[in-house]
Amino acid sequence: MELQFYAHGKLLLTGEYFVLDGAAALAFPAAYGQHMKVHPGPGPYEVNWHALDEKGQTWLSCKFSGIDFQLLETNDTESAERLQSILKTCRNLNPEFLLARHRYSVETVLEFPRAWGLGTSSTLISMIGKWAEVNPWQLLENTFGGSGYDLACAETQHPILYRLLDGQGHSELVKLHPELYKKMHFVYLGNKQNSREGIRMYRSKGKPGVQLLNEINQLTSDFISAQDISQLTTAMVKHEKLVGKYLGITPLQEREFPDFKGALKSLGAWGGDFFAAVAE
């Protein structure tokens, strides 16, 4: 019997980096996500994996032994080894995972370009976790790591307030001013940013103090409670300046678009992916 799964992509509006240290973050599930189909059938005891991009082109093809997930063949060793790590971790968390000796044909299909950084990995963790019947949060922790906000976005259809408390992710649905946020546009910079590299850079700065985390929390609250353009753009500018000062990086608007009438806000790891824009 064929199994089907779906997970949403993600956008992090506030609390980038600092969410790792317990700051409150405002995040959105993206309108685009990733599908996965699993078909067990007759044949050799193996896992045949085909990952398709948004144009239907195969970007990853690999074959694993069903016994121990040994990589048998692939067109992309680095990506296949990351996938292999996920499958092995699932087997460790659930020893019954794929013990039935079938030929498993798996196909994933992205709805967005991989370069957009909307969550190719987090959507995969969400779907594989459901398939393997393991805790996706534990799966994330044992593989890619991170705050988990992206995994929370994968499993919801609404904006969330997300934070780590004692190492555990907690999210709650939030209501935003609908007409106000319709005026926010998301623009792709064309520079794919490696989230893991961004986290390493952030960690090199040391651990942020309580006062700084409280300021981030207040700004996240300001984003949620904003009722007009002025309140929203003020929060965006303050957030950019605060994060930029900590990282030692000039905010995007000052650096690239100084003449823009309104406010620009980096999303996720600075230096790539998307930014939010609100015109005055």
Q: Is 30 exposed, middle or buried (0-12, 13-18, 19+ CB in 10 A)?
A: buried
For domain 3-154, the question of CATH label 3.30.230.10 is answered with yes
Contact present, 161 and 25 (Cβ < 8 Å): yes
Name the residue among 19, 16, 26, 13 with its Cα closest to residue 244: 16
Shared fold status for 3-154 and 176-279: no
What does 208-273 look like in DSSP terms, one character per residue?
A: PPHHHHHHHHHHHHHHHH--SHHHHHHHHHHHHHHHHHHHT---HHHHH-TT-SEEEEE-SSTTSS
Full-model pTM: 0.93
Domain range list for the chain: 3-154, 176-279
CATH number of 176-279: 3.30.70.890
Tell me the pLDDT of the chain (280 aa) as tens digits. Answer: 899 999 999 999 999 999 999 999 999 999 999 999 999 999 999 999 999 999 999 999 999 999 999 999 999 999 999 999 999 999 999 999 999 999 999 999 999 999 898 999 999 999 999 999 999 999 999 999 989 999 999 999 999 999 999 889 999 999 999 899 999 999 988 776 667 777 888 989 989 999 999 999 999 999 999 999 999 999 999 999 999 999 999 999 999 999 999 999 998 878 767 899 999 8
Structure tokens at 147: 């705050």
Distance between CA atoms of 273 and 269, rounded to whole angstroms?
A: 8
- H helices within 94-134, ranges in order? 120-132
Write down the pLDDT at residue 154: 98
Confidence (pLDDT) at 193: 64
* Alpha-carbon torsion, ordered 92, 198, 30, 59, to 10 deg: -70
Q: Which residue has the tokens 């605060």?
A: 242
> How far is it, in rounded angstroms, from Cα 88 to Cα 28?
30
Closest CA to 63 of 38, 51, 78, 80: 80
Six-digit token string for 245: 């000062």
CA distances, 53 to each of 33, 35, 111 (Å): 11, 11, 7
Six-digit token pair at 12?
A: 């992090």
Q: Could you tell me where the beta strands, DSSP code E, fall in the chain?
A: 3-12, 25-41, 46-52, 58-65, 71-74, 103-110, 160-165, 168-173, 185-188, 262-266, 274-279
Residue 154 corresponds to which tokens in the numbers above?
A: 């994968």
